[in-house]
């Protein structure tokens, strides 16, 4: 069957390529070295057959085109190598109306590759958000993702640092309970993912890591950017495999996503260069999740249920503590708490899971919390803990009768003996508690006490608001204003450091959702996390990042990513030119304060130069109006507040 010739304009004017010069152009997907030699325009395959050097970056010397990589010579018009029997292919050219055209046979239809099958399977399992960077060792897989994005099945966000990609995907998993993917090249791109992957792992967020890899035949030889990624990822990835040409490709991707979801952990697949573009077997089809996921309803044993119910019946002042693991069950928990008059407090990671304006809401417990929460914990005669890990930061006492409910058996009684460990899916267990306790409790209604303790705390905050050392705006003032202005349903992404402690203590939540680097406590989390949150909620909810100058500087280039994709993230940046939390820890440890001072740019000017809105506030009277402008801006925006490091 005869193939059809297709002409492609590669130069608008012959004057763009002077006599005796060469340049690289593209027709369809074919790279071409276009030459202008002895008055004639010629088109050669741009790839030198020896090392793949781009001939269009070479030069014509003594009547011959010299490869820029290893100096091999070719005739500029015929592509022949004088004195040898090799050369490069040539293509037809013509000049019409002063423009240069290259003629090529029409491309054959795309042949389905292994990457196509695996990307389609990934999408079928619901993984349709990918954060990453395209590079030389992942081009085949990237091309497969491009095809899915063109069909509207996938969103790819090209970031500026792979660490930000992993943080964004981690935040997406924390917010939704579903995995997003982070994507990198081999070697340094892959190793840059590690911090964000560990953040996801220790906070039990599902995540999928996809890495390119050098060709299999050179693994272990010290090749450029060659790292044994299966071995390297063995500590962080619960599911960790190299894709091979003879793998069951759709099944391998299915298992990777399934492990990430069910184990709430890291799955990693690495794709050797030669595998990515290999045609898929003729019988290969993409898999779906249909029939592959179990019913996750876990009912507690009758013995553990009876023990817990008996403790509730005996309690007068029960108190409920919820952690991040309870975030998808709060409607059931709040209704249960209302039925037994139990105040509810949260861990820091669980902040916002009950509104601080709820009659039973007591805010955050622990080092980043309020005296309200600690007061009710200490006054309680029974603690019921849902989906929390009993970390030192939270400070859940081990001196009170305690019921612990979790769907992870290893989380139960992890650090000390618990009176009633209950293994069960949280909503299911709460429903059983309600059924067994209906009309069978005799508890004190503590709502008036909750209101009283909030009044005491707000009075104390008002006193602290007065403090002014003349060295910047206090954190109390910043978060009091943010409490007044932040949209009630915003997703709030917080960094680590004093900004996080003050945020946890002073910001009063309504219907917000909070994301943070919990167990890993990684600086730099907030802004990349906000990108992940926006990918999850789109324009249905506002997204606000809260960071200090130390944290934001770790990934400040991602502001350009937010501008590129028009992510309307609002950043509240506390600039005190210091790693304030570290200075505080040095003093507490009786060390000299050392190496914690920072040299910062004008961050608001930087934001404006990136194409975002940047406003700088240097004193308290400017705060309210400036914050209003930033939060109302249509697009990414930053409020840089010059903060007093001592008023936290």
Backbone torsions φ then ψ of 456, nearest 5 degrees: -65, -45
Integer Cα distance of 480 and 503 in angstroms:
9
Q: Strands 99-105 and 90-96, how do they pair?
A: antiparallel
Exposed, middle or buried, 194 (CB in 10 Å: 0-12/13-18/19+)? middle
**Fold observed for domain 114-276:** Rossmann fold (3.40.50)
Share of the chain above pLDDT 70, in %: 100
Give residues with Cβ within 8 angstroms of 518, minimum separation 6. 202, 203, 324, 348, 349
Domain ranges (residues) in the chain: 5-105, 114-276, 302-449, 467-642
Tell me which residue of 437, 314, 450, 442 sits closest to 381, measured CA to CA: 314
**Residues 506-560: pLDDT tens digits?**
999 999 999 999 989 999 999 999 999 999 999 999 999 999 999 999 999 999 9
3-state secondary structure of 628: helix
Does residue 199 surpass a pLDDT of 80? yes
CB atoms within 10 A of CB 564: 16
Domains 5-105 and 114-276 share a fold: no
pLDDT of residue 648: 84
pLDDT of residue 223: 83
Complete edge-to-edge strand list for the sheet that includes strand 543-548: 513-515, 491-494, 543-548, 570-575, 637-642, 613-617
CATH 3.40.50.1220 fits 302-449, yes or no: yes
What average pLDDT does range 408-434 have in this prediction?
A: 94
3-state secondary structure of 623: helix
**Residues 311-361: pLDDT tens digits?**
999 999 999 999 999 999 999 999 999 999 999 999 999 999 999 999 999
Beta bridge partners of 37: 40
What average pLDDT does range 272-290 have in this prediction?
A: 94
From residue 644, alpha-carbon distances to 103, 197, 580 in Å are 67, 33, 10
Q: DSSP assignment of 272-329, as one string?
A: EHHHHTSBPPTT------TTTS-----PPPHHHHHHHHHHHHH-SSEEEEE-GGGTT-
pLDDT of residue 2: 54
**Residues 608-648: pLDDT tens digits?**
999 999 999 999 999 999 999 999 999 999 999 999 999 88
Backbone torsions φ then ψ of 375, nearest 5 degrees: -65, -45
CATH 1.10.3720.10 fits 467-642, yes or no: no
Give the containing element (helix H, strand E) for 30. Answer: strand 30-37
**Residues 160-193: pLDDT tens digits?**
999 999 999 999 999 999 999 999 999 999 999 9
Integer Cα distance of 494 and 504 in angstroms:
9
Integer Cα distance of 617 and 624 in angstroms:
10
pLDDT band at 14 (very low <50, low <70, confident <90, very high): very high
Does residue 32 surpass a pLDDT of 50? yes
Integer Cα distance of 19 and 527 in angstroms:
51
CB atoms within 10 A of CB 321: 29
What average pLDDT does range 278-288 have in this prediction?
A: 93
pLDDT band at 388 (very low <50, low <70, confident <90, very high): very high
pLDDT of residue 356: 95
**Residues 351-380: pLDDT tens digits?**
999 999 999 999 999 888 889 999 999 999
pLDDT of residue 116: 97
Q: Which residue has the tokens 């023990």?
A: 307
Rg (CA), the chain: 30
Integer Cα distance of 563 and 572 in angstroms:
16
Q: Strands 99-105 and 5-11, how do they pair?
A: antiparallel
pLDDT of residue 1: 45
**Residues 88-117: pLDDT tens digits?**
999 999 999 999 999 998 888 999 999 999
**Do residues 289 and 346 lie in contact, with contact meaning Cβ atoms separated by under 8 Å?**
no
What average pLDDT does range 275-294 have in this prediction?
A: 93
Give residues with Cβ within 8 angstroms of 267, minimum separation 6. 179, 206, 207, 208, 209, 237, 238, 239, 240, 256, 257, 259, 260
User: Could you give the count of Cα atoms lying within 13 Å of 213 in the half-sphere of its Cβ?
Assistant: 28
Integer Cα distance of 492 and 504 in angstroms:
11
**Residues 456-481: pLDDT tens digits?**
999 999 999 898 888 899 999 999 99
Does the pTM surpass 0.75? The reply is yes
Strands (E), 420-578: 420-423, 491-494, 513-515, 543-548, 570-575
What average pLDDT does range 259-284 have in this prediction?
A: 95
**Do residues 468 and 620 lie in contact, with contact meaning Cβ atoms separated by under 8 Å?**
yes
Does residue 229 surpass a pLDDT of 60? yes
> What own/partner pairs with CB < 8 Å and gap ≥ 24 does 362-369 have?
362/450, 362/453, 363/508, 364/504, 364/505, 365/321, 365/394, 365/395, 365/396, 366/393, 366/394, 366/395, 367/393, 367/395, 367/501, 368/393, 368/500, 368/501, 368/503, 368/504, 368/505, 369/345, 369/504, 369/505
Does residue 444 surpass a pLDDT of 60? yes
CATH 3.30.70.380 fits 5-105, yes or no: no
> How far does Cα 14 stand from its chain's mean position?
48
Integer Cα distance of 249 and 230 in angstroms:
17
Q: DSSP assignment of 580-607, as one string?
A: HHHHHHHHHTTPPP-S-B-----HHHHH
């Amino acid at each position: 069957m005869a193939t059809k010739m297709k002409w492609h304009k590669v130069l608008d004017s012959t004057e763009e390529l002077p006599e005796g010069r060469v340049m690289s152009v593209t027709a369809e997907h074919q790279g071409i070295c276009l030459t202008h030699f002895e008055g004639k325009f010629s088109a050669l395959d741009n790839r030198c057959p020896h090392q793949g050097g781009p001939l269009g970056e070479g030069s014509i010397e003594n009547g011959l085109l010299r490869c820029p990589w290893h100096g091999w010579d070719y005739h500029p018009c015929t592509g022949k190598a004088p004195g040898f029997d090799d050369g490069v292919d040539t293509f037809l050219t013509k000049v019409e109306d002063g423009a240069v055209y290259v003629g090529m046979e029409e491309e054959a239809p795309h042949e389905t590759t292994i990457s196509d099958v695996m990307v389609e399977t990934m999408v079928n399992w619901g993984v349709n958000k990918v954060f990453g960077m395209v590079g030389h060792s992942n081009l085949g897989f990237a091309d497969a993702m491009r095809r899915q994005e063109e069909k509207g099945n996938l969103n790819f966000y090209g970031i500026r640092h792979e660490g930000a990609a992993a943080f964004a995907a981690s935040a997406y998993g924390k917010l939704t309970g579903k995995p997003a993917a982070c994507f990198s090249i081999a070697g340094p791109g892959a190793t840059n993912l590690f911090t964000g992957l560990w953040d996801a792992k220790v906070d039990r967020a599902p995540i999928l890591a996809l890495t390119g890899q050098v060709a299999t035949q050179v693994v272990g030889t010290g090749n450029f950017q060659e790292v044994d990624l299966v071995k390297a990822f063995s500590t962080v990835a619960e599911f960790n495999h190299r894709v091979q040409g003879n793998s069951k490709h759709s099944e391998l991707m299915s298992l990777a996503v399934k492990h990430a979801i069910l184990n709430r952990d890291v799955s990693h697949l690495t794709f050797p260069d030669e595998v990515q573009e290999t045609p898929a077997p003729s019988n290969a089809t993409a898999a779906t999740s249909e029939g592959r996921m179990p019913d996750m309803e876990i009912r507690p044993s009758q013995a553990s249920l009876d023990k817990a119910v008996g403790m509730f019946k005996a309690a007068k002042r029960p108190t409920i503590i919820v952690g991040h693991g309870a975030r998808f069950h709060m409607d059931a928990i709040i209704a249960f708490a209302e039925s037994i008059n139990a105040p509810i407090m949260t861990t820091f990671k669980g902040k916002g899971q009950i509104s601080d304006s709820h009659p039973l809401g007591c805010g955050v417990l622990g080092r980043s919390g309020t005296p309200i929460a600690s007061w009710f914990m200490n006054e309680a005669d029974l603690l019921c803990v849902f989906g929390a890990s009993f970390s030192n930061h939270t400070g859940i006492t081990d001196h009170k009768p305690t019921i612990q409910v979790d769907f992870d058996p290893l989380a139960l009684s992890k650090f000390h003996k618990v009176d009633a460990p209950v293994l069960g899916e949280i909503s299911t267990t709460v429903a059983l508690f309600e059924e067994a306790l209906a009309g069978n409790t005799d508890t004190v209604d503590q709502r008036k006490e909750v209101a009283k303790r909030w009044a005491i705390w707000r009075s104390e905050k008002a006193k602290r608001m007065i403090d002014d050392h003349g060295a910047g705006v206090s954190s109390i003032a910043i978060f009091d204003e943010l409490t007044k202005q932040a949209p009630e349903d915003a997703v709030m992404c917080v960094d680590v450091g004093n900004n996080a402690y003050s945020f946890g203590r002073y910001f009063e939540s309504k219907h917000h959702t909070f994301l943070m680097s919990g167990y890993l406590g990684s600086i730099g989390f907030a802004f990349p996390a906000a990108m992940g949150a926006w990918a999850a909620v789109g324009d249905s909810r506002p997204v606000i990042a809260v960071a200090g100058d130390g944290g934001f500087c770790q990934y400040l280039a991602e502001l350009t990513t937010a501008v590129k994709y028009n992510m309307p993230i609002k950043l509240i940046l506390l600039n005190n030119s210091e790693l304030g939390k570290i200075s505080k820890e040095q003093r507490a440890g009786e060390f000299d304060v050392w190496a914690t001072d920072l040299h910062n740019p004008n961050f608001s000017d930087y934001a404006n130069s990136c194409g975002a809105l940047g406003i700088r506030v240097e004193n308290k009277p400017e705060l309210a109006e400036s914050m209003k402008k930033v939060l109302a801006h249509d697009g990414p925006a930053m409020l840089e507040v010059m903060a007093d490091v001592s008023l936290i």
